[in-house]
Amino acid sequence: MTTAIVTDSTAYLTKEEQEAYNIHMVPLSVIIDDTSYEEEVTITMSEFYDRVRNEKKLPKTTQPPIGKFVAKFEELAKDYDEVVTIHLSSGISGTYQGALQAGEMVEGIDVYGFDSEIACAVQGFFVIHAAKLAAEGKNAKEIIAELEKMRASMQAYFIVDDLAHLQRGGRLSAGAALIGGLLQIKPVLHFENKVIVPFEKIRTRKKAVKRAETMLDEAIQKHGVLDVAIIHGNCEEEATAWMHDLAARYPDSSFKMSYFGPVIGTHLGEGSIGIGWFKK
């Protein structure tokens, strides 16, 4: 039984990671000035932020057409018996549901879906682990069972500069965004029940980052060694300094750098920073 691993572009895996772990990617798109760009394919993170920095109109994001998934699964059916397809939270995108619908349309291969209930590099943790298990010969049901176990220690927190992006994109209530803007709050956000919600309201970015560090410390005390990702929205210098500081404090845990690409960046905005982890 051979199992392929598929994900979408919001896992923001590097090309090197995709090739090393034999991961197949289907991109979401971002629409700027009525032109559609496939993230990680026809527009990069830095190009995106440069394009939209002074735009008054917020870009739109779209999930992959079902036909893209059908084509990918039909291609994989030539060499694989089954697919585990892992996607960003179904609470903020229809991508997961679209992949499942496509799987029902394809013959010759069994498609198993996994809703990460999260996004970005933390979603990527699920994908890479699944790919490693597939390489070991695990079948789809065994892989999904292992991914479910990962949820117990999986956490992610995001700090944004401007709540208006989330509110205009429909990912946060207008009331929460208005209050945050009036009080100059830099809230720590997280995923809860598959959607993005405020975790804690904090008055400054520095204090918000410190609060996220406290959550990391508590997780290390509870779980021991972690895999950690620092995620940034075009503020790499700040993120790199933060990662090096944390890596020095927690030398037994592993740290990697990632980013909020065009689709997630549309909703979080430039200057956002985040952290996520799971137990090794």
Same domain, 138 and 219: no
Which of residues 151, 175, 209 is at a domain's end? 151
Per-residue pLDDT for 183 more than 60? no
Query: Which conformational region is residue 117 in: left (phi greater than 0), alpha (psi within -120 to 50 degrees), or beta?
Result: left
Does 50 map to a domain? no
The stretch 21-38 carries a mean pLDDT of 97
Select the more confidently predicted residue: 187 or 244: 244
Residue 267: per-residue pLDDT: 86
Q: For residues 23 and 147, state if they share a domain.
A: yes
Give yes or no: residues 208 and 266 share one domain. Answer: yes
**Tokens encoding 83:** 């697919």
**Do residue 186 and residue 229 come from a single domain?**
yes
Residue from 58, 66, 51, 99 nearest 234 by CA: 51
Q: For the residues 229-253, what does the mean pLDDT come to?
A: 98
Lowest-confidence pick of 19-33, 137-151, 158-172: 158-172
Q: Is residue 41 part of a domain?
A: no
Q: With respect to residue 80, please indicate whether it lies within any of the assigned structural domains.
A: yes
Lowest-confidence pick of 72-76, 161-165, 194-198, 261-265: 161-165
- Total domains in the chain come to 2
Average pLDDT over residues 251-260: 98
Q: Do 173 and 249 reside in the same domain of the chain?
A: yes
pLDDT band, residue 199 (cuts 50/70/90): confident
- Cβ atoms of 276 and 121 within 8 Å: the answer is yes
| In the predicted structure, residue 273 carries a pLDDT above the cut 80 | yes
Residue 137 lies in a domain: yes
Q: Do 232 and 145 reside in the same domain of the chain?
A: no
Quote the crossing angle between the two packed helices 66-76 and 95-105, to the nearest 10°.
50
CA-CA distance, 93 to 264, in Å (whole number)? Answer: 11
Amino acid at site 193: N
Among 31-35, 62-66, 113-117, 203-207, the minimum mean pLDDT is found in 203-207
Mean pLDDT of the chain: 92
Indicate whether 134 and 10 sit together in one domain: yes
Query: Is the predicted pLDDT of residue 67 greater than 70, yes or no?
Result: yes
Residues 180 and 260 in one domain: yes
pLDDT at 249: 98
Tell me: do 201 and 273 sit in the same domain: yes
**Alpha carbon distance 185, 194 (integer Å):** 23
**Domain-located, residue 47:** no
Last residue of a domain, one of 100, 131, 151: 151
CATH number of the domain encompassing residue 125: 3.40.50.10170
- Retrieve residue 42's tokens: 């026809």
Same domain, 22 and 92: yes
Give the pLDDT of residue 175. 46
Domain end among 119, 151, 183: 151
The larger pLDDT score, comparing residue 186 to residue 182, is at: 186
Within-domain flag for 43:
no
Residues in contact with 71: Cβ distance below 8 Å, sequence separation at least 6, in sequence order: none
Residue 90 and residue 176 in one domain: no
* Under 8 Å between Cβ of 258 and 146: no
Tell me the whole-structure pTM to 2 decimals: 0.92
Cα–Cα distance, 17 to 33 (Å, whole number): 32
In this prediction, residue 202 has a pLDDT band, given cuts at 50, 70 and 90, of confident
The residue segments making up the domain with residue 194 are 154-279
Which whole number is the average pLDDT over 179-207?
A: 77
Q: How many CA atoms lie within 13 A of 226 on its CB side?
A: 29
Q: Using an 8 Å Cβ cutoff, are 93 and 27 in contact?
A: no
Q: What is the pLDDT of residue 116?
A: 98
